[in-house]
Structure formats: structure tokens, C-alpha cells
Chains A and B, each alone.
Chain A
């Protein structure tokens, strides 16, 4: 029995091990690059996987003292929180309505909403820019708060629609028989058991905001108002000279909390994504 367990475990590690190494490698690379000296980057004789001549904090100093990185982090965080709030406020009721109230129409509407998510930002940034300009929101983070829900809400609605369908109708019926209103049923019964789905929407929307580039680049032109994704690209590539070390520090810092967040809620995240997969 123990032999079988050991063999199974070994097999699991043999399969998972290479994947883990491949997936962890970017983090390792970021850490190495973040603390390497300039001369280390440009000497092709050096082994790139280790420090040649010791680590340095010069890249961290460059990032924090000579760029507006802290502003970019704050902007990204603010936009992320507000966009997640808007997304939840719109997608949760919409997803529930499509799952429960629209009958057969719900599926078609859900697919229709999801399709809007597939329109690429490269097509939409010109008309959106005109709109932002008319609203006098150019160079303001509120332009992104306004635009980002256009792609977070459709996907989240579609995702939640699938998730809400997995919640047994009988639970709702029981609550209604016990005298709960529809809103009360939603708040007391449906939402608590839909936490994995809602959490998935939170993580997904926040990740999209952190990663988005095209809108953030077009709508924001001053360095102080940029997000991390555009600030790093614009302010840390000096013409034809990328500041590799500082870029890696800049990428490493936001990726750590995101990785921890994903890991902490991994099971719920998977449940959220696969919730509607079998219905």
C-alpha cells in the first residue's frame, strides 16, 4: 500500500515538477535581472543565470527615485479597485438575471454579451478616444475607470451566468417558501454560495486592469497618471536603451501580490471558472 502511495506521489511529482519549473522560471529570471549590475547584462561571456560580480540595489533605486513608479502603482491599484466594484455591481445582477429570469433567451443573450468581449481594443481605442475627449477625461485615470468595464463586465457576466446556473433552483424555492423576498434570497442564499464565482470575477477583473495596455497608453499621456503597464514601457525604455534591471523590479513587485492572491484562492478560483462548465 505504502509502495503504491510512494509510486503515485513520485509519478505526480515527475509530471508536475517540470511544469512548476517552467512556470517558476520567469520569477527566477525577474529576481536575477532585478538585482544584476549593468555591466553584467552586457557581457556575453557571463553566465546569465547567476550574479556575476554580486547583486545590486541600483535598479531599485533607479525605479523609486528617478521614475514615478509609486504613482503608477497607486494609479493601478485605484483603477483596479473601482473597476472591480463597477464590474461586480453590474455583472452579478446581470449574470443572475440571465441565469434565472430570461429562460431560453438567457443563453443567447449571454453569448451575445460575451461576444462583445471579443472585440479587440485595437479597433475600439480610436472611437473611445473621441468619446473620452468629449468628456474631457483625457489624461485622467477616470477615463480608464469608464472604459475598462466595457470588457470586464461582459466576460464577468458570462462567467457568473454559468456559475449561477450550477446553484440548485430548489435552494431558492425553499428560501422563497420560507418567506424570503427575491432580493433576500439573493443576498442570504445565492451570494454566499457563489463566493468562488464572485472571487474569480474579482481576481480576473483586477488582473485585466493591471495588464491592459492599449487604452492606458492612448488615454493617458503624462507620466504621473500612468499605470504600471504603460509606465514601465514608456519611462523605462530610454529610446533605444531598455533599463532591464529596473524593468524587472517594476514587473516583479506587482506580480508577487497577484501570485499570492491566485495561490491563496486557487481552489475557489478553479471552482469559479469551472462552475458552469458542466451545465
Chain B
């Protein structure tokens, strides 16, 4: 019937013996080819997609870092090496920090965008649009120990039990002040009373105080921290609005006094870089800002660079309560195309955070203390040669003792994030400083606004 002895060919299928024989030869061929493939393609660079579970591209969008050296390290060293090691093509886009919220809104609206989205403050309002980042937190905890309290309270929702973001870093927010100028008036900014006393004297010699009251990140951080130093908080630990209090009124009056005696009206139109420019121009005598405000004058050899000192936030009637200047958080959207690579990228980044810390010139602190313990940070800070010697050592004290999350004493929830993102706190301060409202009226108005926001998110089941 047929002119061949091949049974398989005869019947269109293989019997068991034939299948095993051909399968074995096939497996051997594939195995040999696989084991020598890296050598075979050695001239053509690393193989694409050898780590199959991570195959594909990883797209990241993040800010243009305030310390340019960090971006250079992140793009050209870290991402490149990580990509080669994991056989993933990593693409990083940088945009200005003020443009990130609009970009996030656009990506969510389109249901399409980058695999990793970085923000400078927790995006709790996008909880439904992101994956649960628990797996990454657990993986990092397994390797280097427990997550820090700041990151825990900033990225975890106790109501829904969801990690709505992964924070790799935070940035302590010290006071940067001109020692030569303050010395001239015989004071130092270690208490808010001192700041108020020195403000008119400093303004009189042409060097006003620079605490913004504008719709921008630095004003937000400074104003909320100022409130906390007076015992006024956005919410309590049970996520109930507490802004309407005698402490808030006292703080608003106090800040209005500082403004009227020691600031100029430009602070109402500031952007995040304005307070830096204020210092760089040699005009400002004190700002609340991260250490980029001292690093730039050092790098550019500005004449007063050695006179820029760093202090913890001034002490108020309630104590010394600062916020982080930046809470660096990455989110993985539910629609991200390469979630596996995004997760591994984040855990690897945090586990190796020493490199990031050094590349950022002590700007980024790891959110997992085990990634780089404080005593080691202290050692690096002590070795920094900029004058006055050892000035960066105070950062560890600030980080350990005076840095709290936005929304303290509660968690950073969706309602707090919205209050933060819509700049209701700086607006409240500005109204009083500009004498458009009394402190009591401004606190009442804020209370009503906050309650609406909280009610909305409570109804949504997020708080």
C-alpha cells in the first residue's frame, strides 16, 4: 500500500517509541543550543528575553531629579546594568515634577502608559487603578528587613489592606539658612519664635525669610509641617478631620505675622524652584527645602555656599514636626504591560539603595532602613568635605526624629492626598497672610472643604 517503512509517515502520527526517540534528539539539540547560545551571540550583545518571565520592555516615567547626578546614575548605570542582567530593555522618561499629576491623569484616562509611574507624594487617590504592591514590599522585607514607618504610613491603606504604591525613598526636609546673615542679627532658626523675631531684622537688611504660600509642593510641605509644630493636624489617627482647632488658628496668625514682618509678596506665586532661586540669588536668609538647595551652590561655587547651614525644622509650641520634602513613590498601573519586570526592578533598586543614596549626594534616603542603616549614612555624611565640615550629619537626626508622613498622625490616605494635591493648606495660609480672611474663618472654611473631601473618599470605601 505504502512505499515507506516509516510508520509515523504512513499513518500521519508517531508511535510511543518513535515519539520518545525524536523527542530525545530534539531536547538534546535544544539543550545544546541553549547552553552555547550566549557564546554564539557573544558578539551581538546580551540576549533579549533569556529571562522569559521578565521578557519585554520596561517603561518608567519619573521626575527630573533635583540632583542631576542621580539621573545620570539612574539612566546610564543602574537601569543599563539591571536591564542587561535581567534581559529587559529599560526605557526611562523624565519630566518636570510639576507635570507628573497631569501625566498620571492622562495615563489613567487612557488606560495606557508607563509600567512604572513615579510621583513625589503618594497617589492614594489612584488606589483602584494600581496593583497591590504587597509582593514587592514582602520581597524587600525578606531580603533587608522591615519597611520604615514613614513609608508604611504613606503607601498602605489599612482600610482596604492594600499597598497602593511602593516607596523607594524619602527626602528629609531641613531648614536651609544663611549663617552669616543670621549671625548678624544674633539669632539662629532653632525655634519658630526666633524666626519671627529675626524676620523683620533680616528683611530690613535685604534678606527676607522664604516660606512659600503658593500652590506648589514646597509650600505644601512647609505649611503642613508648620501646622504640626503648633499641634494642628489635617486628621487624627482615626482619619477624622481635625483642622478646625485653636492650634490651627494660632499657627495661621503666627505665619501671617512672619509674612508681614519678614517676607515679600513673591511667595504667593512661587513654584517649587522659587525658594531655591531665592537662596541662589543671595537674597533669601532661610527656606525649608531639601539639600539640593545647598548642593547646587556647592557645585556652582556660589560665594555664600559655605555659609549655608542645615538645621532641623524650628521647634514650635507643640514640638519639632517636619515632613519629608519628597516621598518618592512608584506605582504599577493595573494596565502596565510588564508588571513582573516592574516588581523586580523596584525590589532590586531598594535592596541596592546604597548606590542610589550616594548618586543622589545624600538626597534620597532609603525607605527600608536595612538598605542603608543610619550609622552608615552618618559615616558618609561625616566624610563629606564641604564646609562647614560635617553639616550633612544632621540629616540622620532629622530623618529619625523629625520626619513624619503627610496626614500624620493618621495614614496618608486618598482624602489626605487630595487635600495635598489641591493645595488647600497653602491656600488657607495665603488667605490669612494676605488679610483676605481671619484665621478663624480660614480654619472653618478649610474644615468644610476637608470634610467634603473626606466624605467623598469615605463613601468610596477608601478611608
Chain A interface (Cβ < 8 Å from any Cβ of B):
38-39, 42-44, 125-127, 129-130, 132-134, 138, 217-218, 221-223, 233-235, 237-242
Contacts and interface: CB of A to CB of B under 8 A. Distances in A.
Contacts of A38: 300
Given A126-B106, A234-B94, A234-B96, A241 B111 contact: no
A238 B66 CA distance: 6
Interface string B275-287: 1110011110000
B273 A218 contact: no
A217 to B, nearest CB: 6
B276 A133 contact: no
A43 B91 CA distance: 39
Contacts of B112: 133, 138
A241 to B, nearest CB: 5
B148 to A, nearest CB: 24
A240 B293 contact: yes
A237 B114 contact: no
Interface in B94-127: 94-97, 99, 102-103, 105-107, 109-114
Contacts of A233: 96
A201 B368 CA distance: 58
A235 B64 CA distance: 8
A129 B105 CA distance: 10
A238 B111 CA distance: 29
Given A38-B300, A42-B282, A239 B106 contact: no
Interface string B250-291: 000000000000000000000011011100111100000100
A239 B110 CA distance: 27
A133 B273 CA distance: 32
B293 to A, nearest CB: 7
Nearest to B92: A222
B292 interface: yes
A246 to B, nearest CB: 13
Contacts of B280: 42, 241
Contact of A221 (B68, B93, B105, B300): B93
Top 8 closest pairs, chain A to chain B, by CB: A239-B66, A240-B273, A133-B110, A133-B112, A221-B93, A240-B276, A130-B110, A129-B106
B302 interface: yes
Interface of B: 61, 63-68, 91, 93-97, 99, 102-103, 105-107, 109-114, 272-273, 275-277, 280-283, 289, 292-293, 296, 300-303
Nearest to A233: B96
Given A39-B300, A133-B112, A242 B106 contact: no
A237 B65 CA distance: 10
B282 to A, nearest CB: 5
Nearest to B289: A240
A133 B112 CA distance: 7
A234 B109 contact: no
Contacts of B68: 238-239, 241
A42 B109 contact: no
A241 B106 contact: no
B105 A126 contact: yes
A240 B300 contact: no
B66 A132 contact: no
B61 A221 contact: yes
Contacts of A133: 110-113
Contacts of A126: 105-106, 109-110
17 contacts: A39-B300, A44-B283, A130-B110, A133-B113, A218-B103, A221-B103, A223-B93, A234-B95, A234-B96, A238-B65, A239-B67, A240-B272, A240-B273, A240-B276, A241-B276, A241-B292, A242-B277
Contacts of B276: 240-241
B109 A130 contact: yes
Contact of B106 (A218, A223, A237): A218
Given A43-B282, A44-B283, A240-B277, 18 more contacts: A39-B301, A42-B281, A42-B300, A129-B109, A129-B110, A130-B110, A134-B110, A218-B102, A218-B106, A221-B114, A222-B93, A223-B93, A234-B94, A239-B97, A240-B66, A240-B273, A240-B293, A241-B280
B282 A241 contact: no
Nearest to B102: A218
A221 B95 CA distance: 8
B111 A240 contact: no
Contacts of B292: 239-241
B281 A237 contact: no
Nearest to A222: B93
B99 A234 contact: yes
Contacts of B275: 240
A38 B110 CA distance: 42
Nearest to A244: B277
B421 to A, nearest CB: 16
A93 to B, nearest CB: 33
Nearest to A131: B110
B94 to A, nearest CB: 7
A173 B153 CA distance: 79
Contacts of B110: 126, 129-130, 132-134
Contacts of B303: 43
B102 A237 contact: no
A129 B94 CA distance: 19
Contacts of A218: 102-103, 106
Contact of B95 (A129, A217, A241, A242): A217
A133 B337 CA distance: 14
A237 B43 CA distance: 39
Contacts of B281: 42, 44
Contacts of B67: 239
B293 A223 contact: no
B300 A239 contact: no
Contact of B302 (A42, A134, A235, A238): A42
